[in-house]
Amino acid sequence: MDIGVPTETKDSESRVALAPAGAAVLVAAGHRVRVQRGAGIGSGFADAEYSAAGAMLCDAADAWGSALVVKVKEPLPTEYRFLRGQMLFTYLHLAGVDLALTQALLASGTVGIGYETVRDDAGHLPLLAPMSAIAGNMAVAVGAWYLAKPHGGIGVQLGRVLGEPHGRVLVVGDGVVGQHAAASAAALGAEVIVYGIDAAHGAALLKQLPEHVNWRLSTPQAITAELPQADLLIGAVLLPGARAPHLISTDMVRQMRPGTVIVDVSIDQGGCVETARPTSHSDPVYTVDGVLHYCVTNMPGAYPRTATVALTQATLPYLKTLAGGGRAALFADPALGAGVNTLDGYVTCPAAAQGLGLLARHRPLAELAP
């Protein structure tokens, strides 16, 4: 199969969907890999490394003209012209982005396979996990940065000073993002409270984290009670394929002190904070009621080398199956089937269809089987 790897065009997005080592594996399996010139430079991979791996260098049109296009982020409006019914394997986050993308995928008949909804046999999200881990770690780092007075923050340092803890971090959500955020904040020495909805899961999580991390059942009342003392709030809520619910209301944000910080990692799916709106690496923060909001939609793009290597390791087994089986693999492999968001002009992911108001265009994948 022809596999195309275009250069990412999102603001400050330096990741690439496939490292040279991954390209070599696919070429060895008999596939033709076409990489847009310069696609890997931001991640530290030169064109020569792709050539050495057996990939062909090309322009954007040739990369997009492949039967299977592999990306990191969703296509931007300037790329819609390249959508011609091919298979597209990338992070789509349809429920959290502009409706125009879904309409473009449907109009072109593109087979949109979202990394974020691929599920393994245990029900986990193996292709979302590596970026969630990076984003969780990063949420604490950027939160600590913006808490500094010169950056507009309240001036609280997260960590221990001569043995005394400083900084209070609330993490709303205890999935992969929440776990990594809690671990990072705890490692600094801050006081951490993690909110979740499953007490058994919370108990298991606490066994993996330092003793000064607390887990609490996520309710508006429980979160509101801690907001006046919080220095950093991290939104880490995920409903796979669906728009994130607003668990932190505008009124709740007003309970926070001026100069405190919110990092809404859920912004890819619309954000779990009512006052959150998408931002970029080039313009990452804004203030609402004195509270700094960091809502960058491609956070792991700040660490492209780490992210590209981790993403390639996670996606490569699925990519090999997809390239080897074509569209038939979507119906034969339940994990890839769960990843299908659009097919033949229909939205196949029910959560995305619901979030986008497109239930009239929803068809279960099984009904579209050849």
**Residues ≥6 apart with Cβ < 8 Å to 150:** none
Q: Which residues contact 221 (CB under 8 A, 6 or more apart)?
A: none
Please tell me which residue in 174, 231, 264, 268 is annotated as part of the active site: 268
Name the residue type at position 53. Answer: A
Q: Which amino acid is at 279?
A: T
User: Is 166 an active-site residue?
Assistant: no
What's the length of the chain? 370
CA dist 53 → 26, 39, 45, 319 (Å): 9, 15, 11, 17
Q: 306: closest CA among 63, 116, 135?
A: 135
Exactly one of 31, 93, 180, 293 is catalytic; which is it?
A: 93
With H, G, I as helix, E, B as strand and everything else as coil, classify residue 182.
helix
Residue 211 has a CB neighbour count (10 Å cut-off) of: 7
Q: Is 93 a catalytic residue?
A: yes
Q: Please say whether the beta carbons of 147 and 286 come within 8 A.
A: no
From the list 301, 299, 237, 233, the residue with the least C-alpha distance to 269 is 237
Give CA–CA dist 317/90, Å, rounded.
14
Sorted by sequence, the CB contacts under 8 Å of residue 302 that are 6+ apart come out as 12, 138, 281, 296
d(CA 278, CA 65) in angstroms, rounded, equals 30
Which amino acids are annotated catalytic?
93, 268
